Structure 1
């Protein structure tokens, strides 16, 4: 039996962000601009890291992976938003499940990479003498590979659980993409198992890494406070503050949506939170994680100047 045959509806209607023509045109321009900024910014980060040998370190290896994941994360959602604003708001049942699968994969990868980057900074600041022995290329590759395996396994689990549900007559999704909580709302099956898996297995996937990040930054803060230089302290706290801002934005919105009972959700709240972690956060990551860094600024300037001069030859 195929997934499509398990449901009495063959497609869903994504209600989107707005049904007002004037607002749709404005939103199309806004989301297109944000998407282009996300793709361009993250591509420049990846290119700068690959071309500058000074950036071939564990921290920038993780950052390049984060940039790649952010491009994929945004590309899973935003092109569909743009299409819904201009053309059709419908999506087939299979396409909906596929979008949900990749959404979970890349959301989990963001989650894991933020955690790995926090661990990398913890080792660099708190155990600098052991950094080269702890953060070897093999261990870095293993951390990223393990993250991909867990992310795909988690996405497959939730996708299969969603595929077993029935959707009877109501095929209108009060969202701009196939979000788990929105789909659970319109299902006419018992969603208890789905919700329990989100609240239990989801704790391990989302909350545990979040706690690890907080512990890492607490240890970093304690170490930095012992630094005699005021300038050094300010620089470290400024960097940690930027990282924690993105972490709070990403985790705060996801926890608010997925770790509260579905009965307490409102469409407006879910949509606003989803825009933050699917569109805004991937766009801000290049600025927060890279443009505040002198080494990255230098590498980006070199890449941009090379492209500019080569284009005028």
Structure 2
């Protein structure tokens, strides 16, 4: 868990007067995430989520927060940003950008069954389609360019086999990204971090996606790959559960049919999803930032997933006739 910027109830009580939320009654740090500082807050108007942004800048944040507002206005269940009385959804707190958003009902489903994966797949497809007319554009800041920048930084911390794996995968992903097939993939705003702890369920009902602060414009297929690599695996091994994979992909395909080009790139994109999180976890593990509370994720988890995606083909996106 991470709190980089402590915020007391006294701090909140003065700051929140710019919003039509009444008085602040409670604030509690959220024990997840290693990029931003998050709190549950309680006011006269109910419960909300306060985020203090540790890396993202005032200039970058309009993309994320306006994307959330865009999706919420189109019926996609995501946290809606709360504007202050001047209409601003980004405001300074302790000298850093901060925002308040609505709180979703329910809890994260950490042991998903096929029906949970189907609900996630269908909503992910609806989210992609709903974002098609979103006017702002920003690249995926943890995409290919970042992989190429970060790999040399973490290489000195790796053993020989890990260095070979990383260099080979970076070369493969660069070659694929330069191909005509890659250029033909459907693209648009994506979540890019749709792990189990970024989705809420109330019983069997999916109540929303949240934590859009890794979102960017990239291929929809990458978003699907990242999601499958978390929702459809045995957490201790990284092995895919075919029933959950099929449920998620079939539900997505029913809303937004996959293309033949996406089918052809599916196995490579699953590897890309694993590479992205192996790299970020290597960086956070070996080059950690100071925080009041911080537990870096195990880089070995996504190293295993990458090795598995190389060794074992995953179920196809759809059954070809």
Q: Same fold (TM over 0.5)?
A: no
Task: Tell me which protein shows more strand as a share of its residues.
Answer: 2
Task: Tell me which protein shows more helix as a share of its residues.
Answer: 1
TM-score by length of 2: 0.28
